[in-house]
């Protein structure tokens, strides 16, 4: 290793290789909002698929929904977001810059203009408000959801009555969420438009503590299964004063970023807060009937919530590596194969071997596997290009290939090469796909 990963290096790689672009780049960007490029899009869909699969593989009932991004004001009033979803804000009276009060030291000067003249701290509401249609009535006010969870709670009865599920069971969802963060920062870490993957696990009050521990263990081991370095990950219980308005116990799965230990996923015991609130405000019965005790009760909820973008950033930090190779610096993304955007590259050693090599590549492409074919530049440069985007295998078609029915396979991490039969390429590639990976349980 020649140097450690920094945020700047990662941002630069993401832009250079087409993982992430600033939104509306050509107009100067939009703070806290990003677009995924071709490689970022492939990698994000792997992340989503792996998360979904990690839940589907369990011997538990978990169904999935895809809720709307907009919700009526009454819903956000019931959830507590209208009243409680804000951050403390201060403004520098001299240059009018605004900061989250917990991000700056108010005893010191403004980091932008150097003057010390702060306003009092006030609460800043984080939800994006909008108006539906041309009407200006209060009932047409809507908000973009600041968490996907509420779509699950307001659909609880719909799912319950249509899906033949029984307590305990889970409703999971992947989708966009929006927060008007005062200071979006650290690239994808704190954004204004981002994506969440959330599981709401419905159970009885008596079993909630047990399930809280179950999910904390399960979610931590998920990160291990997708290659997150165990020395950079930990589970931390929240202190009482850190808890959100809905939670009585929360543990965070934290990752050690270059800017410190930070939350990657939150596991929260939400009690029966959300369903009770929505039942009270909507005046709909959201309780379930227990056939054994012949009583109705409101289920309790354990929530596991992680951001797609934050996990994506974590996986990049976890994988980024620079090392000295033959007097040069090799940048390599040591991504777990299941996460890697490109599963394999097919490289003819020289131009005139392109055709047979491209035929092998086309066989895999036809199966819907994301593979690349690259003929331009020296073979060494082409290997480096694939290293930088985390491609686990490069298959090189050389002068022996036609005669012996073989290619060489080069392993990204060790850079070792071995000669293998062309018909065994598939066995390498199937292990890289989240859809094709054999079940580990
Ligand atoms: N439903 C619970 C909830 O939303 P949260 O701790 O505010 O809890 C859950 O968010 C996860 O969503 C975080 O652990 C993080 O991974 C992701 N997340 C939250 N705010 C984010 C932001 N502004 N930008 C990117 N990801 C964010």
Beta-carbon contacts of 362 under 8 Å, excluding residues fewer than 6 positions away, are none
Q: How confident is the model at residue 329 (pLDDT cuts 50, 70, 90)?
A: very high
Q: Is the pLDDT of residue 440 over 90?
A: no
String of b and e for 199-224 (b: at least 16 CB within 10 Å)? bbbbbeeeebeebbebbbebbbebbe
Q: What residue ranges do the domains of the chain occupy?
A: 2-70+145-316, 342-430
Domain boundaries 342-430, corresponding CATH code = 3.40.50.800
pLDDT tens digits along 189-242: 999 999 999 999 999 999 999 999 999 999 999 999 999 999 999 999 998 888
Q: Which of 44, 185, 196 to mutate to test the pocket of ligand 1 (most atoms within 8 A of CB)?
A: 196
Residue with tokens 């190779």: 325
Strand, helix or coil for residue 158: helix
Separation between Cα atoms, residue 170 and residue 202, nearest integer Å:
6
Separation between Cα atoms, residue 233 and residue 263, nearest integer Å:
10
Q: Which atom of ligand 1 is nearest to the CA of 196?
A: 12
Terminal CA-to-CA distance of the chain, rounded, Å?
34
Q: In angstroms, what is the span from residue 232 Cα to ligand 1's centroid? A: 19
Q: In angstroms, what is the span from residue 62 Cα to ligand 1's centroid? A: 21
Q: What is the pLDDT of residue 168?
A: 97
* Protein residue whose Cα sits closest to atom 19 of ligand 1: 307
- Ligand 1 binding pocket (C-beta < 6 A) is 147, 149, 179, 181, 190-191, 194, 196, 198, 263-266, 303, 305-307, 309-310
Tell me if 2-70+145-316 shares its fold with 342-430.
no
Q: What is the mean pLDDT of the chain?
A: 94
The percentage of residues in the chain with a pLDDT greater than 70, rounded to a whole number, is 97
Q: In angstroms, what is the span from residue 181 Cα to ligand 1's centroid? A: 11
Strand, helix or coil for residue 373: strand
In sequence order, the β-bridge partners of residue 166 are none
Q: What mean pLDDT is predicted for residues 286-311?
A: 96
Phi, psi of 440 (to 5 degrees): -80, -15
Separation between Cα atoms, residue 18 and residue 40, nearest integer Å:
7
Q: What mean pLDDT is predicted for residues 8-27?
A: 97
pLDDT tens digits along 232-283: 999 999 988 888 777 788 999 999 999 999 999 999 999 999 999 999 999 9
- Token reading at 63: 């169904």
In sequence order, the β-bridge partners of residue 89 are 100, 122
According to DSSP, the β-strands at 70-72 and 98-100 are unpaired
Q: Are the CB atoms for 372 and 346 separated by under 8 Å? A: yes
Q: Are the CB atoms for 63 and 171 separated by under 8 Å? A: yes
Q: How confident is the model at residue 328 (pLDDT cuts 50, 70, 90)?
A: very high
Specify the pTM.
Answer: 0.95
Query: What kind of fold does domain 2-70+145-316 have according to CATH?
Result: BirA Bifunctional Protein; domain 2 (3.30.930)
* Protein residue whose Cα sits closest to atom 26 of ligand 1: 307
Q: What is the pLDDT of residue 437?
A: 45
Q: In angstroms, what is the span from residue 196 Cα to ligand 1's centroid? A: 7
Q: What is the pLDDT of residue 430?
A: 84
* Protein residue whose Cα sits closest to atom 17 of ligand 1: 307
* Protein residue whose Cα sits closest to atom 15 of ligand 1: 307
Separation between Cα atoms, residue 36 and residue 20, nearest integer Å:
5
Q: Are the CB atoms for 114 and 94 separated by under 8 Å? A: no
Q: Which atom of ligand 1 is nearest to the CA of 188?
A: 25
């Amino acid at each position: 290793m020649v140097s450690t990963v920094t945020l700047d290096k990662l941002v630069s790689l993401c832009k250079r290789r087409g993982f992430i672009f600033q939104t509306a780049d050509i107009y100067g960007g939009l703070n806290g909002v990003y677009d995924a490029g071709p490689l970022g899009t492939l990698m994000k869909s792997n992340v989503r698929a792996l998360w979904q699969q990690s839940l589907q593989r369990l011997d538990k009932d978990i169904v999935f929904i895809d809720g709307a991004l907009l919700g009526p004001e009454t819903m956000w009033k019931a959830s507590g977001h209208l009243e409680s979803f804000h951050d403390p804000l201060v403004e520098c009276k001299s240059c009018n810059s605004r900061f989250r009060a917990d991000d700056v030291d108010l005893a010191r000067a403004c980091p932008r203009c150097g003057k010390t003249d702060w306003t009092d701290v006030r609460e800043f509401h984080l939800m994006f408000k909008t108006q539906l249609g041309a009407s200006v009535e209060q009932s047409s006010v809507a908000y973009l959801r600041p968490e996907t969870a509420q779509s699950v709670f307001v659909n609880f009865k719909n799912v319950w009555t249509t899906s033949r599920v029984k307590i305990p069971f889970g409703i999971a969802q992947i989708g966009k969420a929006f927060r008007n963060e005062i200071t979006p920062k650290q690239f994808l870490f704190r954004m204004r438009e981002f994506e969440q993957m959330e599981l709401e696990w419905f159970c009885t009050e008596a079993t909630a503590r047990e399930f809280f521990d179950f999910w904390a263990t399960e979610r931590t081991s998920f990160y291990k299964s997708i290659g997150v370095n165990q020395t950079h990950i930990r589970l931390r219980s929240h202190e009482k004063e850190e808890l959100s308005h809905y939670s009585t116990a929360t543990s965070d799965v934290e990752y050690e970023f270059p800017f410190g230990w930070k939350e990657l996923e939150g596991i929260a015991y939400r009690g029966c807060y959300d369903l009770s609130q929505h039942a009270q405000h909507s005046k709909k019965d959201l309780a379930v009937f227990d056939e054994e005790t012949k009583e109705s009760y409101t289920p309790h909820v354990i929530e596991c919530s992680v951001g797609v973008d934050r996990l994506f950033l974590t996986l990049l930090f976890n994988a980024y590596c620079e090392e000295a190779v033959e007097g040069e610096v090799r940048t390599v993304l040591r991504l777990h194969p299941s996460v890697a955007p490109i599963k394999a590259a097919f490289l003819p050693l020289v131009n005139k071997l392109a055709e047979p090599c491209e035929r092998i590549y086309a066989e895999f492409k036809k199966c819907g596997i994301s593979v690349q074919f690259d003929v331009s530049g020296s073979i060494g440069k082409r290997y480096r290009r694939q290293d930088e985007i985390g491609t686990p295998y490069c298959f090189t078609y050389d002068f022996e290939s036609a005669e012996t029915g073989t290619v060489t396979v080069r392993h990204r991490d060790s850079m070792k090469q071995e000669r293998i039969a062309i018909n065994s390429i598939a066995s390498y590639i199937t292990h890289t796909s989240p859809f094709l990976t054999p079940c580990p349980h």
